[in-house]
Amino acid sequence: MNKSLSLDRRKIVYFISDNGFIVIFLLWCLFLTIRTEGHFLSGGNLSTVLRQATIIGIVAIGESLIVFLGSMDVSVASNLGLCAVVVAACLVDYSLPPLVAVLIALGVGALVGLVNGLLSTFVGINPIIATLGMMIILDGLGLNYTGGRTISGPEIDPIEFLYLDKVGPAPVPVILLFVAYAVAYFVMHHTMFGAHIYATGSNEKATWLSGIKTRRVRMYAFILSGLMAGFGGIVAAARRGSASAAMGGDFLFPILTIVILGGISLSGGRGHILKVLVAAVFLMSINNGLILLGSVEIEKQRVLSGAILIVALSLDRLRHMVG
Amino acid sequence: MAADVKLAINKVSKGFPGVQALDSVSFEIKSGHLHALVGENGAGKSTLIKILAAAAQRDSGHILLDGVPYNPRNPRDAFAAGISTIYQEFNLLLTRSVMSNVMLGKEPRRIPGIVDFKAMSLKTEEILATLKAGHIDVTAPVEELTVSEKQLVEIARALLNEATLFIMDEPTAALNRQEVNALFEVIAVLKARGATILYVSHRLEEIFQLADTVTVLRDGAHIRTAPIGEVTADSLITDMIGHRLEAVFPERNPSLGEEILRVEGLSTSAFTDVSFALRAGEVLAVTGVGGSGKTELGKALFGDFPIRAGQITVNGEAFRADPSSAIAAGVICVPEDRKVEGVIQNLDVKRNISLAMLGRVARLGVINRAAERAVAGAQVRDLGIKTPSLAQEVGNLSGGNQQKVALGKWLAAGARVFILMEPTQGIDVGVKFEVYELAARLSRKGAAIILISSELPEVLGLAHRVLVMRSGALAAELDGLTTDAEEILRHALGADQ
């Protein structure tokens, strides 16, 4: 009797620590739908929420890989900002063709990831410290190039379709978001690379002793993290039609929030990539809901976002305490 | 009755799941004596030490310290009672200074809350001087000291605590000849101050040099306690081995093939100049006491321990020792610490088995899940791995079944040289014999096996040849069919010198 009771409690704790935020998310949606008399669920509003989730959602895929491995890349947002500047500069200052500009920006993002990977695997610096240093360097590089100006001009128009256009009823960024997550899901669950990420994040020594080059796995994860940050930067430039050195900073906190909220364990090896997508949508629906409800003050949004991160982290600990 | 009894151990028993580590052990340690404790691996020496140090609690029996019942609840109680244990793995704060370590918890103060560092360094220097260790810089962080200096810091701490019974667990295992002599001088100082010492060692020559009395344990039971003058190296070894019932081991593979692996002049920080060759279908056991270098030899062959010199060839080709190259060359290793290194606890049975060979069930990096399940399922059936499903997390299986998973992943991968490190440690008897059967089956199929083991019965029962290591060198190469436990122990303990 007693035993089965405690077992049930354990199951509930596991369910909450795994899925708690989804329950909160659904309750929030229900609450908003009632308060806004259905406006929250209208096609227009939903597509706004999803579009807003695109940039952080895409960059969070790369960050999730790093967190799966038990570390963290805090340079992703600054990398995003620099890549936005790079793509805008290529188009406006150097008049390069849009495709070339996009490829250069992606290349810069991946290169930053490569350097992060080298520093944290082969040089052996703690990844958080290495990427923190990288974050400062990237911010500095952006500022040095722009000198504080905002790069804008009609030359950016050719890439704006990435955020503004629609294919049928679906906005292009939402298509990008879903395709990116479909690919990420496939990679994590059906490929050797995904298996190696899970194994390395769970137990690097045992994985290495199984003949897997775990340092190489880490390198690839950092490169992909940089590449996705570059991709996010391009979409961010497309969204604003301009780029400035400071634009990356605002993204760091939401990206980390949704990765952790999505249940990617900070101690590595556990989590499901699709929950990060749900978390991205959830976070955007909070901001969206607060606007719909008429309390737009940014201060309130910040308090709520911070509280959600702490709740998510507490749920992560709950599993450790009971498990 | 020349000396008083310092410690009287009376019918002390301690059981762990599946094994009776101590079975009603009784003996006395006389005051001011150096009392040696010997026995094979698993004889119960460590358990007894842990009980005395209160790192473990006895199940039954009682102990008198200076004639008073001794019932410590935790290591602090033991320390307060004057019993200091110097383990092989030191209990030191590595980044803190020598004096902070020696005076830990007893820091001198002039004003409450403010440590008087001057008094602290003077006091520490004074204690170290009595141990003839005045050369140690009391302000240096402990991590910069040598092993023998760290040991002295531990002893100094015990002295400051006015310990009267010192328990030393293999104190010379990691020391060089000169350091051993220095330690013996310290032991002489301690004895001159009237201290009693319980001394655990595998090195019989030391015991004859130092001990007043010796106790032999075997399989958790007390065999003999006698003055050192009444025993010989041979009689000690006989007491340690006893006359065990011979277990039934599978028959050895009678037909050995071509040479498959050759090791020449291999040296690492743990052993030097090891050479041997291995033939297909052969079982080669490598044995020795803790610190002999056998574990590191197994790891070095697989690239898990840095090699300083020497070379390894597999099928005549030079071999680069790192796990992925080793596996590609058909050399695999089942590590000693299976829970941490052999399996990945939070991955499922299927993925643990397939992990090392995913490339073979994948095309262009995409895993064929049906093929992966088939490969893992075959091993689960062949090895009789008890698991509710292939999707079960390995952490939920028993130790024996985890070991089967750790083995199964290499059977699936199809290796030619198996390095098995202590493959039956901590698993129950039934699974043990399944592991033996498996090893014999592999060797009949032409695989070569390097069995790194401290368990003499399995070494004698399985091996064609036995390499005995001692203090980082090969001490002997013996024929597995004709040798016996006595001969192996003689070489492993250095009783032949």
The interface pTM score, or ipTM, of the predicted complex is 0.84
Q: Where do the structural domains in chain A lie, given as residue ranges?
A: 14-322
Predicted confidence at residue B91, as pLDDT, reads 83
Beta strands in chain A (DSSP E): 151-152, 166-167, 170-171, 242-243
> Cα separation of A291 and A39, whole Å?
12
What pLDDT is attached to residue B234?
83
Of A214, A126, A269, which is closest to residue B304 (Cα–Cα)? A214
The reply to whether residue B358 touches residue A205, judged by beta carbons under 8 angstroms, is no
* A318 contacts: CB under 8 Å, gap ≥ 6: A13, A16, A17
Look at residue B274 and tell me if it is in a domain: yes
For A14-322, give the CATH class. Answer: mainly alpha
Over range B231-235, report the average pLDDT. Answer: 87
CA distance B184 to B210: 8
Contact A212 B355 (CB under 8 A): yes
Q: Which of A27-31, B142-146, B346-350 has the highest mean pLDDT?
A: B346-350
- For residue B340, is it within any domain? no
Q: What are B384's two structure tokens?
A: 């009789």
Q: How far is B265 from chain A (nearest CA, A)?
A: 24
Q: For chain B, how many residues are written?
A: 497
**Nearest chain B CA: its distance from A307 CA (Å):** 30
Q: Out of B302, B328, B346, whose CB is closest to A270?
A: B346
* Distance between A257 CA and the closest CA of chain B, angstroms: 24
Q: Give the pLDDT band (50/70/90) at residue B247.
A: low
Q: How many CB atoms lie within 10 A of CB A191?
A: 17
Query: Which residues of chain A are within 8 Å of residue B340 when distances are taken between CB atoms?
Result: 203, 205-206
Say if B336 falls within a structural domain.
no
pLDDT value, residue A3: 43
B403 and B467, same structural domain? no
- Which pLDDT tens digit goes with each residue over B183-228? 999 999 999 999 999 999 878 888 999 999 999 998 889 999 999 9
CB contact under 8 A, A212 and B324: yes
Locate the chain A residue with the closest alpha carbon to B337: A206
SS3 A106: helix
- Is the separation of the CB atoms in B211 and B35 below 8 Å? yes
For residue range A255-272, what is the model confidence (pLDDT) as tens digits?
998 998 887 777 777 788
Domain co-membership, B188 together with B294: no
**What pLDDT is attached to residue B487?**
92
Beta partners for residue B62, in sequence order: B10
**Is the distance from CB of A138 to CB of A115 less than 8 angstroms?**
no
CA B204 to the chain's CA centroid: 17
Query: What pLDDT sits at residue B231?
Result: 92
CB-CB: which of A199, A205, A213 is closest to B355?
Answer: A199
Both B142 and B266 in one domain: the answer is no
Token pair for residue A261? 């909220």
| Per-residue tokens: B127 | 């204690």
Task: For residue A265, give the nearest of B352, B353, B338, B346 by alpha carbon.
Answer: B346
Q: Which residues are CB-contacts of A138 (< 8 A; sequence separation ≥ 6)?
A: A75, A78, A79, A81, A82, A112, A248
- Mean pLDDT value across residues A53-63: 96
Same domain, B13 and B78: yes
Determine whether the interchain pair B346/A202 forms a contact, defined as Cβ–Cβ distance below 8 Å: yes
Residues β-bridged to residue B332: B418
Does residue B95 sit in helix, strand or coil? coil
Give long-range contacts, CB 8 A cutoff, 24+ apart: B237-242: B237/B204, B237/B486, B237/B489, B237/B490, B237/B493, B237/B495, B238/B486, B240/B38, B240/B39, B240/B40, B240/B43, B240/B216, B240/B489, B241/B40, B241/B456, B241/B485, B241/B486, B241/B489, B242/B218
A199: nearest CB among B333, B344, B367 = B344
Measured distance CA(A244)–CA(A255) in Å, rounded: 19
CATH number of the domain within which B251 lies: 3.40.50.300
> What tokens appear for A304 in the block?
């709520």
Contact at CB, A210 and B323, closer than 8 angstroms: yes
Question: In this structure, are strands B60-65 and B5-16 parallel, antiparallel, or unpaired?
Answer: antiparallel
Strands B165-169 and B114-115: unpaired
User: Does the pLDDT at position B459 exceed 90?
Assistant: yes
pLDDT tens per residue, range A238-256: 999 999 988 998 899 899 9
A217 within 8 A of A197, measured Cβ to Cβ: yes
Nearest beta carbon to residue B341 from set A198, A206, A269? A206
Q: Is the pLDDT of residue A21 over 50?
A: yes
C-alpha span between B458 and B42 (Å, rounded)? 14
Helical segments of B384-484, H only: 399-413, 429-444, 456-462
B335 touches chain A (CB under 8 A): yes
Q: How far apart are CA A307 and CA A302, in angstroms?
A: 9
List the domain range (segments joined by +) for residue B457.
Answer: 245-330+415-497
- Whether A110 contacts A82, CB under 8 Å: no
Position A121 scores a pLDDT of: 92
Q: Do A202 and B344 touch (CB under 8 A)?
A: yes
Interface probe with B: pick from A202, A205, A209, A214, most Cβ of B within 10 Å: A209
Cα-only R_g, chain B = 25
Say whether both B131 and B151 belong to one domain: yes
Residue B324 distance to chain A (closest CA, Å)? 4
Asked if the C-beta of A207 comes within 8 angstroms of chain B's C-beta atoms, the answer is yes
Residue B472 lies in a domain: yes
Which residue, B241, B262, B287, sits at the end of a domain?
A: B241
CA B485, CA B160: separation in Å to the nearest integer? 43
Q: Where are the beta strands (DSSP E) in B17-155?
A: 19-30, 34-38, 60-65, 68-69, 83-86, 109-111, 114-115
DSSP assignment of B460-497 equals: HHH-SEEEEEETTEEEEEEETTT--HHHHHHHHHTTT-
pLDDT at B335 over 70: yes
C-alpha distances (whole Å) from A44 to each of A164, A293, B239 are 14, 16, 87
Which of A203, A209, A270 lies closest to B304 in CB terms? A209
Residue type, B131: L
Q: Which of residues 52-81 of A touch B (CB under 8 A)?
A: none
C-alpha B271/C-alpha B474 separation (Å) is 9
For A294, phi and psi rounded to 5 degrees? 95, 5
Query: What is the spatial distance between Cα A131 and Cα A152, in angstroms, rounded to a whole number?
Result: 29
- The number of distinct structural domains making up chain B is 3
What pLDDT does A1 receive? 38
- Distance between B310 CA and the closest CA of chain A, angstroms: 22
Judge: B340–A206 Cβ closer than 8 Å, yes or no: yes
Mean pLDDT of chain A: 88
Report pLDDT digits (tens) over B113-132. 888 899 999 999 999 998 88
In the chain, the amino acid numbered A103 is L
- In which band, very low, low, confident or very high, does the pLDDT at B496 lie, cut at 50, 70 and 90? low
What pLDDT is stored for residue B1 in this prediction?
39
Does a structural domain hold residue B362? yes
Predicted confidence (pLDDT) at residue B8 exceeds the cutoff of 90: yes
Token digits for B324? Answer: 């992925």
CA distance linking residue A73 with residue A133, whole number of Å: 11
Q: How far is B373 from chain A (nearest CA, A)?
A: 13
CB nearest to B366's CB, from A190, A207, A211: A190
Mark whether B10 and B104 lie in a shared domain: yes
Nearest-by-CA chain A residue for B331:
A211
Kindly determine whether residue B345 and residue A195, on different chains, have CB atoms separated by under 8 Å. no
- Mean pLDDT across the stretch B401-426? 89
Flag whether residue A191 sits within 8 Å of chain B, measured between CB atoms.
yes
**Cβ under 8 Å to A: B residues 38-57:** none
Query: pLDDT for B267-322, tens place per residue?
Result: 999 999 999 999 999 999 999 987 889 999 999 999 999 999 999 999 989 888 89
Same domain for B463 and B492?
A: yes
CB-based burial label for B259 (10 Å; 0-12, 13-18, 19+): middle
Do B255 and B171 reside in the same domain of the chain? no
Q: What is the pTM of this model?
A: 0.77
Cα distance between residue B274 and residue B267, in whole Å: 7
Share of chain A above pLDDT 90, in %: 61
Nearest residue, CB atoms, B365 vs list A192, A202, A206: A192
Q: Examine the domain organization and report whether B70 and B130 are in the same domain.
A: yes
Of the listed ranges A91-95, A124-128, B173-177, B213-217, the least confidently predicted one is B173-177
What is the tens place of the pLDDT at every residue in A206-226? 999 999 999 999 999 999 999
- Which of B214, B165, B187, B200 is closest to B63 using CA atoms? B165
Q: Which of B396, B413, B430 is the last residue of a domain?
A: B413
For residues A320 and A21, the model is more confident at A21
**Nearest residue of chain A to residue B413 (CA atoms):** A210
Q: Cα dist. B488→A92, B424, B461 in Å? A: 80, 19, 13
Q: Which tokens is B183 given?
A: 């330690």
One DSSP character per residue, A33-80 reads HHHTTTGGGSHHHHHHHHHHHHHHHHHHHHHHHHHHTT---TTHHHHH
Q: Are B272 and B324 contained in the same domain?
A: yes
Task: Please judge whether A199 and B346 are an interchain contact, meaning their C-beta atoms are less than 8 angstroms apart.
Answer: no
B333 contacts chain A (CB < 8 A):
yes
- Cβ of residue B393 closer than 8 Å to a chain A Cβ: no
Q: Is residue B109 part of a domain?
A: yes
**Chain A residue with Cα closest to B323:** A211
What is the C-alpha separation between B156 and A182, in angstroms, rounded?
64
Those of residues 210-229 in A touching chain B at CB distance below 8 A are: 210-213
- Indicate if B283 and B408 belong to the same structural domain: no
Closest alpha carbon within chain A to B360 = A192
The first and second tokens of residue B458, run together, are: 């399995």
Identify whether B466 is part of a domain.
yes
> Does the distance separating the beta carbons of B327 and A211 come in below 8 Å?
yes
Which value, in Å, is the radius of gyration of the alpha carbons in chain A?
Answer: 20
Higher pLDDT, A296 or A114: A114
Of residues B240 and A140, more confidence is placed in A140
> How many other C-beta atoms are found inside a 10 Å radius of the C-beta of residue A295?
11
B66 shares its domain with B174 = yes
- Dihedrals φ, ψ of B362, to 5°? -125, 150
Q: CA B102 to CA B107: how far, in whole Å?
A: 9
- Give the pLDDT confidence score for residue B428 in this predicted structure: 67
B344 touches A at CB < 8 Å: yes
How high is the mean pLDDT of chain B? Answer: 89
Q: Which of B413, B433, B449 is the last residue of a domain?
A: B413
Q: Quick check: helix, strand or coil at residue A169?
A: coil
CB atoms within 10 A of CB B135: 8
Q: Which residues of B touch A209 (CB under 8 A)?
A: 302, 304, 323, 333, 335, 341-342
Interface A-B, measured as beta-carbon pairs within 8 A, has a size of 66
Angle at alpha carbon of residue A18, lines to A17 and A22, rounded to 5°? 100
**Residue A193 to chain B, least CA–CA distance (Å):** 7
SS3 of chain A: helix, strand, coil, percent, to 5: 80, 5, 15
- Tell me whether residue B25 is in a domain: yes
Partner-chain contact B323 A203, CB within 8 Å: no
Structure tokens at B275: 């050479």
Q: Do B324 and A213 touch (CB under 8 A)?
A: yes
